[in-house]
Amino acid sequence: MSETRQGAVCRWPGGQSNQSPLPDPVTDLDPATQGAVAEAILAGGCFWCVEAVFLALQGVHEVTSGYAGGDQATASYRQVCSGTTGHAEAVRVRFDPAMISFGALLKVFFGVAHDPTQRNRQGNDVGPQYRSAIFYLDEAQRVVAEAYIQQLNDSGVFSAPIATTLEAHSGFYPAEDEHQNFAQRHPDAGYIRVVALPKLDKLKHAFAPQLRG
């Protein structure tokens, strides 16, 4: 079964296998070293659904759906959905590190936003454009992300090894306007009901204290 997403055909994702709750990261960034607003660029399958998860968190100022890992010349939805451009569908999260840390964002990323054990896919959405990836902005983010992946693998909370790649940030390109805030604007869309809403329900149960009032 498939659904047309803004002119390109992408397939329905399947269920998630990741478990919750996850341990807090042992290694994290000091908020005092990051300024008033920090950024994280994360990829975990369809950006409509990942965006919806992070928009619900306290301390998150803005979430932008877009493309990371490829060149600006091919950073369009139709081209990226072909799986040939090197991009991943990703979100740029701008947040207050005094309210929510980079490590806390990663805990939500691994615990709710997607299934990090799937390589180059999320459910039935298949291809490198749906890969699980952290596009680190500096060495400090890379160290925290690498340490948390190791911590999660060692803890055995997932039934398979984490497949998330760590990739140096080389450019983030916002997606077309119709893809921004998609889940909130189209709550009755079939894709949103099947994929995004279960993630938001899980978020409410696992991370209730971190949600916006």
Count of alpha carbons within 13 Å of 18, Cβ hemisphere only?
Answer: 29
CA distance 193 to 203: 15
pLDDT of residue 12: 31
**What's the pLDDT band for 50 if we cut at 50, 70, 90?**
very high
Nearest residue to 108 via CA among 60, 65, 153, 62 = 60
Given a cut of 60, is residue 201 above it in pLDDT? Answer: yes
Count of alpha carbons within 13 Å of 93, Cβ hemisphere only?
Answer: 33
Give residue-wise pLDDT tens across range 17-36: 444 489 999 999 999 999 99
pLDDT of residue 21: 80
Would you say 120 and 127 are in contact if contact means Cβ atoms under 8 Å apart? yes
Would you say 27 and 103 are in contact if contact means Cβ atoms under 8 Å apart? yes
Q: Which residues are catalytic?
A: 46
Give residue-wise pLDDT tens across range 56-102: 999 999 999 999 999 999 999 999 999 999 999 999 999 999 999 99
